[in-house]
Structure 1
Amino acid sequence: MLAGATLIFAFVMVLLTLAFRRQGAATPRTWIVGLGLAFPMSVLAALLAYGLIVGEVLLPRQGPEVVTVRAEARQWSWEFGYADRPGETTREILHIPAGRPVDVEITTRDVIHSFWVPRLAGKLDAIPGHVNVLRIEADAPGEYGGISSEYSGPGYRAHGFLVIAHDAEGWAAFLAGDLE
C-alpha cells in the first residue's frame, strides 16, 4: 500500500508541476476529464484487477495437493480433525504440511469465535451451525501462532493455538501416527 500510495503521490506531483509550468495550456475541461475522471477510473480499474487476481488465487479449490482440516472452536479451546487421519483429533495444535495448500473448515459449538494465523492467512469467523472455509499455506516448515481474535466472553484473550508446518517427512510421520 505504501508503494502504491507513493506512486500515486509522485504522479500527481508531476502532473501539478506540468500544469504550473505550461501556463494557459491546461483548460478546466482537461483537469476535470483527465484528473477528475480518467485518472481515478484507471487507478480503480487496476486495483480491481489486482484484487480479482489475488482473490481467485486464494479461493479454496479441491485437488490432490489440497489438505483438508476441520477446526472446531469452543470456549476456550480449539480441536482439529484431519481428513487424512479419520477419527484422530488434536487439541490446541494444528498440524499442516509446508508448501501445500490447506483448507481449514472452521466452525464452533457455542458462540462466535475467530480463527486467525497472522503469518499464514487472514481472519475468518467460526459461526455456530455454519462451516466457513479458509485457505492457508505455510511456505516453510515451522511453528506459527494462531489466536481467536473475536470477543467471545471472559477469557478470550488466552484463546490461542499453535500451527506446526511439517516438511514432507514430518507430515508423513504425523499421518502415520508417529507424531502427536
Structure 2
Amino acid sequence: MSTVHPAGPAAQVIATLWWVMLAGATAIFALVMTILVLSFRPRTTHDGPQDDDRDHRLWIYGLGLGFPLAVLGSLLAYGLIVGERLLPRPDPQVVAVAAEGRQWDWRFRYDALPGLVTDGVLHIPAGRPVDVHITSVDVIHSFWVPRLAGKLDAVPGHVNVLRIEADAPGQYAGVSAEFNGTGYRRHDFAVVAHDAPGWASFLSDGAP
C-alpha cells in the first residue's frame, strides 16, 4: 500500500512528485529554521540606518518572501505538469474495465469479455495500460491502488476514468479511500496483474 514503492508508470510519476515536494518543503523549513536561529544571534555593531534597511529588505523580501514563493511556484508548476501527464490518452493497447463501488464491495466488468463480473478482485494484464471507468451505485467512494496509480472518486450517476498499469505480474492491494459508512474499514479489494498467457487464459475461461 506504499505510494513510495511504485509498481507502475503512473505510480512512479506520483512517487517522484512526492519526493520533489518533500524536498521543496524541507528547503523552506530549513530556511525558516536558519532565519529563526540567526534572529537570536547578538548584534555587536551598528552600521547605520541605510545598512539596516538593506538587511531588512534582504531578509524580509528576498529570503522571507522571494525564496518561498519561488519554491512554491515551481512546485505548483511541476504538479500541474504531472497532472497533465497522468490524464488517460488514446492508446491502441489500452484495456477498458468498469469498477462499480457499493457499500461495501467493488464489482468489476470487462469490455473484452461482456458478461464477466468479478467481486472484490480486478484482473488486468501486466505491462499494458488499463482504463478503469469508475462509478458508484449508492454513496461516494474512492478507488485507490497506491502502487499502481493515484486515487479517483466513484460518484453516483457519473463515470470517472483512471488509467492504471502494472509493470509486472502480481497482486496489488486496493482500498476505498473515502469514508462511506460503518463498513468503511472492510471496503478493500485486490488487483491481480497477469502475464500475457495468464491474461489470455483468464479471458478464455471467463472466470477468475
Compute the TM-score of the two structures, normalised by the length of structure 2: 0.72
Question: d(CA) in 1 for partners of 2:57 and 2:184?
Answer: 57
Shift of 1:158: 1.7
Give the length in aligned residue pairs.
176
Aligned to 2:121: 93
| Structure 1 spans left out of the alignment, 5+ residues | none
Indicate the structure with greater strand content: 1
Q: Deviations over 1:36-87 (max 9, x none)?
A: 3321232122102210221112112121122211001223322111122222
Structure 2 residue aligned with 1:152, among 159, 169, 180? 180
Structure 1 residue aligned with 2:160, among 105, 115, 132? 132
Pairing 1:26-105 to 2, within 5 Å after superposition: 26-105=54-133
Question: d(CA) in 2 for partners of 1:115 and 1:60?
Answer: 16
**Which amino acid counterpart does residue 70 of structure 1 have in structure 2?**
A
Where 1:107 maps in the other structure, the secondary structure is strand
Question: d(CA) in 2 for partners of 1:11 and 1:173?
Answer: 57
Shift of 1:115: 1.6
Q: Does 1:4 align with 2:24?
A: yes
Question: d(CA) in 2 for partners of 1:41 and 1:156?
Answer: 39
Aligned to 1:174: 202
- Could you list the structure 1 runs, at least 4 aligned residues long, displaced by more than 6 angstroms after superposition: none
Indicate the structure with greater helix content: 2
Where 2:167 maps in the other structure, the secondary structure is coil
Deviates more, 1:43-52 or 1:118-127: 118-127
Identity %: 66
Where 2:189 maps in the other structure, the secondary structure is strand
Pair 4,76 (structure 1): closer, same or farther in 2 beyond 3 Å:
same
Q: Is the 8 A contact 2:24 2:71 kept in 1?
A: no
Where 2:57 maps in the other structure, the secondary structure is helix
Compute the TM-score of the two structures, normalised by the length of structure 1: 0.81
Q: Is the 8 A contact 1:77 1:159 kept in 2?
A: yes
| Structure 2 spans left out of the alignment, 5+ residues | 1-20
Shift of 1:120: 1.9
